[in-house]
């Protein structure tokens, strides 16, 4: 169908993202004509929970993969172009009002429908409510770990979740063998530390296993950050012509590893809704997709809140040891 894709970057960067592709997402990629093995030849087979004093591990329900956003976005943009998409790069949407999108260069684009895919960044005129951030909002941090035998030995074919006071870290090896270490921590923890680098040093001291992995940081690796991540938020309503996708539709705590799958699932569902009912279908689409997100986001949020409290994380580890099926069940329950 005729459409315009406005992409604010001229060059495809590596967005701050956990990079985990669940088996559900791999199926959606195939529907779009993207073979998962072209993104990463290696599979992720296990999930590993790590605290200061314990480790619990279980097989994933189905094989998954990991990919950098630079690689994924490059492949998806190429697929969109080959399918006939008109793509404008290097322009951002500064604001939206009355169905008109105002671009960086002052141009205004009027359309009967807008598919809002701005991720964690809000667009003027369509911003999420401030209360979605909470009193002690979550920050996203990311560092890259150098590829090599040491990282392969430590992580292998697993997705790791390191539970800590006031947050957690996720680690997986991407298509080039490097480690993508993403953290979700409360702002109060960063304020107590003073700087992101000091926070990393503090966490490495608190969590020996995490410290061992942080020691593998790539030379001159910067700390990427994004502020005020509204975990748990869902768009439960919309207006005709406004289809919210991805993090604009709902923000699942990233320990679930389902954020990118939500982006694809919402895009596919919104496209089907628009083809069937036109701009007016946005209202029912948003309500139905919010209902679809309620259970996985709710379960992931409960696991997130438990994991950032040391005594609950310790209890969860004991339960995971007593019942090896617990982690696979949790993985299935947080899929979209």
Residue 226's CB is within 10 A of a number of other CB atoms, namely 17
Average pLDDT over residues 276-286: 97
Residue 136 confidence (pLDDT): 85
| CA 82-87-93 angle, 5° bins | 150
Distance CA 296, CA 89 (A): 34
Q: Which residues pair with 93 in a beta bridge?
A: 103
Give me the half-sphere count of Cα atoms (radius 13 Å) on the Cβ side of residue 80. Answer: 17
pLDDT in tens, 286-330: 999 999 999 999 999 999 988 888 888 888 888 888 888 888 898
Q: Return the residue matching tokens 């005729």.
A: 2
Q: Which residues pair with 103 in a beta bridge?
A: 93
Helix locations, the chain, DSSP H: 23-31, 69-82, 149-155, 187-193, 196-206, 208-214, 259-277, 281-307, 310-322, 326-333
Q: What are phi and psi of 62, to 5 degrees?
A: -150, 155
Mapping DSSP to helix (H, G, I), strand (E, B) and coil, where does residue 291 land?
A: helix
Residue 295 confidence (pLDDT): 96
What are the structure tokens assigned to 62, written together?
């189905």
Q: Which residues pair with 89 in a beta bridge?
A: 7
Helix locations, 115-237, DSSP H: 149-155, 187-193, 196-206, 208-214
Tell me the C-alpha to C-alpha distance, in Å, between residue 330 and each of 166, 187, 297, 316: 21, 27, 12, 12
The answer, as to whether pTM is greater than 0.75, is yes
Residue 115 confidence (pLDDT): 96
- Helices 326-333 & 281-307 angle (0-180, nearest 10): 150
Average pLDDT over residues 256-280: 96
Q: Between 29 and 322, where is the model more confident?
A: 29
Q: Return the residue matching tokens 């957690």.
A: 168
Give the β-pairing of 138-145 and 20-21: unpaired
pLDDT in tens, 126-166: 888 877 677 888 999 999 999 999 999 999 999 999 999 99
Q: Indicate if the pLDDT at residue 81 is higher than 90.
A: yes
Q: What is the largest CA-CA distance in the chain?
A: 61
What are the structure tokens assigned to 15, written together?
């967005």
What are the structure tokens assigned to 33, written together?
């004509």
Residue 175 confidence (pLDDT): 96
The CATH topology of domain 4-44+64-130+231-307 is: FAD/NAD(P)-binding domain (3.50.50)
Q: Return the residue matching tokens 């991407």.
A: 174
Burial of 246 (0-12, 13-18, 19+ CB in 10 A): buried
pLDDT in tens, 45-76: 999 999 998 999 999 999 999 999 999 999 99
Give me the half-sphere count of Cα atoms (radius 13 Å) on the Cβ side of residue 231. Answer: 28
pLDDT in tens, 195-252: 999 999 999 999 999 999 999 998 888 899 998 888 999 999 999 999 999 999 999 9
Fill in the DSSP letter of residue 128.
Answer: P
């Amino acid at each position: 169908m005729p459409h315009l894709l406005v992409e604010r970057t001229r060059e495809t960067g590596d967005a701050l993202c956990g990079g985990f592709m669940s088996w559900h997402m791999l199926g959606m990629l195939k529907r779009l004509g993207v073979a998962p093995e072209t993104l990463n030849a290696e599979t992720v087979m296990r999930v590993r929970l790590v605290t200061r004093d314990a480790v619990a591990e279980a097989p994933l329900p189905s094989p998954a993969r990991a990919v950098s956003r630079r690689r994924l976005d490059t492949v998806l943009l190429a697929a969109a172009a080959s399918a006939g998409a008109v793509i404008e790069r290097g322009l951002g949407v500064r604001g939206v009002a009355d169905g008109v999108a105002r671009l960086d260069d002052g141009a205004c684009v009027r359309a009967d429908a807008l598919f809002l895919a701005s991720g964690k960044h809000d667009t003027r005129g369509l911003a999420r409510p401030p209360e979605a951030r909470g009193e002690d909002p979550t920050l996203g941090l990311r560092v890259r770990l150098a590829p090599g035998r040491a990282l392969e030995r430590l992580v292998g074919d697993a997705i790791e979740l390191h539970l800590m006071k006031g947050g957690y870290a996720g680690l997986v090896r991407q298509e080039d063998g490097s480690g993508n270490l993403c953290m979700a921590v409360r702002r109060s923890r960063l304020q107590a530390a003073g700087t992101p680098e000091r926070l990393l040093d503090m966490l490495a001291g608190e969590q020996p296993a995490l410290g061992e992995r942080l020691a593998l940081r790539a030379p001159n690796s910067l700390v990427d950050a994004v502020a005020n991540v509204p975990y748990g938020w869902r768009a439960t309503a919309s207006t005709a012509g406004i289809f919210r996708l991805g993090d604009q539709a709902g923000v699942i705590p990233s320990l679930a590893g389902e954020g990118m799958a939500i982006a694809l699932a919402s895009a596919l569902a919104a496209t089907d809704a628009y083809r069937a009912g036109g701009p007016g279908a946005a209202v029912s689409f948003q309500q139905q997709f919010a209902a679809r997100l309620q259970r996985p986001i709710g379960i992931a949020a409960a696991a997130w809140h438990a994991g950032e409290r040391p005594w609950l994380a310790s209890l969860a580890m004991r339960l995971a040891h007593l019942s090896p099926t617990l982690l696979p069940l949790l993985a299935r329950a947080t899929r979209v």
